[in-house]
């Protein structure tokens, strides 16, 4: 099966085109191929988005919401198909794919719709009328680790805001995006509002970011590629939103419940085979709790043994590709060479399914800030343990990173945990195991990115503000006219 682009509402013929194979990381088999897009394909997709922008940007919010709610219903209707596809193309265990990969994507859209409904398009500020308007044509570049979640955060927010989109999904895991294209046709989204161009960074990503017809780039991926995206977008002064890497720390305070903290931290680190940008991959433990915490971690880690991702009970599948397997194993080898001690896991090969790109969930201790493993994002199931003497030292260690995406604090006293959380230089912090809240803003400090996704703040990334000076007195009249128009559109 070869899948073509979705441009102007049409799935294009892939015959005779160069292709990119999609490989199942559980066994190395080729499960499909997608067209390897070119700058000419990007030109056509951007033109389609630009053509659709005039009518879509003036479509009343009530109608945009109807389309996005229909998209969410389509994801729910195709949940099993999407889960099976995600599991096959990037190795996510099937139960996790169903609940987290697809379930979270549906929840993303629900919270974005809430934000759109509550949005005030026109307001009086000082002596001016302030109007929010869509940015324009958006280039959305999404990753392979939570591909559907990221597509919904970007595409859902953009089209609710009145923007049109050219989506470049990861070439590692593009098949779920093709299903999204099918759903968009099912629900009758106007042609050109969302266009999907398959391909790699050189053929599609770079020309899309640099395209003069693109008004905004939203990118999720590595810090290094994010820098390249920002540099390329700067040539035309595009708006840029970047969600990049992380090396998030969990601080276990001396009154933390031992078993709960261990289970929560390991779940954060090992879920999705460690391929989560916000994973808590550094745990900071009081020195007098170290032995007990490590013993409990070894026991809990046994439940994260790799398995066939197609089996419902599997907790850890393969990483997304052989290339990713090599990268993760390289980090493990470097940590061992620098003196980190393996508590469990390591470099021994495991293959629950023959030919799979598996990595053993690995826990290191004796890790110090001088080691690469303390600072570099592994993006695999690898946890480091570092002891501390005082809470001030723990906060300093947590903040000793170029990243600032996420983190966690554990304590039997939630107020004490909050005090520590407020000292951490990260965009999100979970107290006592609290996880992602898709209604709250998600994004990072420092080199973890620019801008926010999810909920109100994620929706507002796709808006521009216009001040009409001297028009504040007219806002009531404008609000009445807008309300009358929206009521009429809803009743049609």
d(CA 68, CA 61): 11
Tokens coding 328: 């993760």
- Residues near 434 by Cβ (< 8 Å), separated by ≥ 6? none
Alpha-helix residue ranges (DSSP H) falling in 192-321: 206-210, 223-234, 258-270, 290-301
| 262 backbone dihedrals φ, ψ, rounded to 5° | -65, -50
Distance (Å) of CA 453 to CA 149, 154, 207, 277, 370: 11, 8, 24, 13, 33
Catalytic residue among 12, 73, 133, 243: 243
Alpha-helix residue ranges (DSSP H) falling in 167-222: 175-186, 206-210
Annotation says 243 is catalytic: yes
d(CA 403, CA 443): 11
Residues 26 and 182 sit within 8 Å (Cβ to Cβ): no
* Pair type for strands 403-404 and 445-446: antiparallel
Angle between helices 175-186 and 79-90 (to 10 degrees): 160
Instruction: Report how far Cα 90 is from the mean position of its chain's Cα atoms.
Output: 14
Task: Please give the sequence-ordered ranges of beta strands (E in DSSP) within 247-340, or none if there are none.
Answer: 248-252, 280-286
- Annotated catalytic sites, by residue? 243
């Amino acid at each position: 099966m070869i899948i073509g682009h979705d441009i102007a509402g049409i799935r294009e013929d892939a015959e005779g085109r160069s292709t990119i194979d999609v490989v199942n990381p559980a066994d190395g088999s080729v499960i499909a191929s997608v067209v390897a897009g070119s700058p000419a394909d990007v030109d056509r997709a951007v033109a389609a988005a630009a053509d659709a922008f005039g009518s879509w940007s003036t479509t009343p919010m009530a109608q945009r919401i109807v389309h996005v709610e229909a998209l969410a219903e389509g994801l729910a209707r195709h949940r099993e198909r999407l889960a099976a596809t995600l599991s096959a193309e990037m190795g996510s265990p099937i139960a996790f794919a169903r609940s987290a990969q697809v379930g979270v994507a549906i929840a993303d859209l629900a919270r974005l719709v809430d934000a759109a409904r509550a949005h005030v398009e026109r307001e009086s500020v000082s002596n001016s009328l302030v109007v929010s308007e869509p940015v324009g044509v958006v280039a959305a570049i999404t990753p392979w680790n939570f591909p559907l979640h990221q597509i919904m955060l970007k595409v859902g927010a953009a089209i609710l805001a009145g923007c049109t989109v050219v989506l470049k999904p990861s070439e590692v895991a593009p098949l779920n995006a093709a299903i999204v294209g099918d759903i968009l046709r099912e629900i009758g989204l106007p042609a050109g509002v969302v266009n999907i161009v398959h391909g790699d960074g050189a053929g599609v990503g770079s020309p899309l970011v640099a395209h003069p017809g693109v008004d905004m780039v939203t990118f999720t991926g590595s810090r290094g590629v994010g820098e390249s995206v920002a540099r390329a977008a700067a040539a035309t002064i595009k708006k840029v939103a970047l969600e990049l890497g992380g090396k998030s720390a969990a601080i276990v305070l001396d009154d933390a419940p031992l078993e709960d903290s261990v289970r929560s931290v390991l779940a954060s680190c090992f879920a999705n085979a460690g391929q989560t940008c916000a994973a808590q991959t550094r745990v900071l433990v009081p020195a007098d709790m170290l032995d007990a915490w490590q013993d409990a971690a070894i026991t809990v880690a046994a439940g994260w043994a790799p398995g066939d991702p197609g089996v419902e009970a599997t907790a850890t599948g393969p990483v997304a590709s052989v290339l990713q397997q090599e990268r993760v194993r390289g980090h493990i080898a470097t940590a061992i060479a620098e003196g980190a001690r393996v508590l469990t896991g390591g470099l021994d090969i495991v293959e629950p399914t023959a030919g799979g790109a598996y990595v053993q969930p690995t826990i290191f201790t004796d890790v110090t800030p001088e080691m690469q493993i303390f600072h570099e994002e592994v993006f695999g199931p690898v946890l480091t343990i570092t002891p501390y003497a005082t809470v001030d030292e723990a906060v300093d260690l947590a903040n000793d990173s170029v990243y600032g995406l996420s983190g966690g604090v554990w304590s039997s006293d939630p107020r004490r945990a909050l005090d520590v959380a407020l000292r951490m230089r990260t965009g999100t912090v979970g107290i006592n195991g609290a996880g992602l809240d898709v209604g709250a803003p998600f994004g990072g400090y420092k080199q973890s990115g620019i801008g926010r996704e999810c909920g109100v703040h994620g929706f507002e990334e796709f808006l521009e503000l216009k001040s009409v000076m001297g028009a504040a007195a007219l806002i009531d009249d404008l609000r009445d006219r807008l309300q009358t128009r929206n009521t009429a559109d809803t009743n049609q």
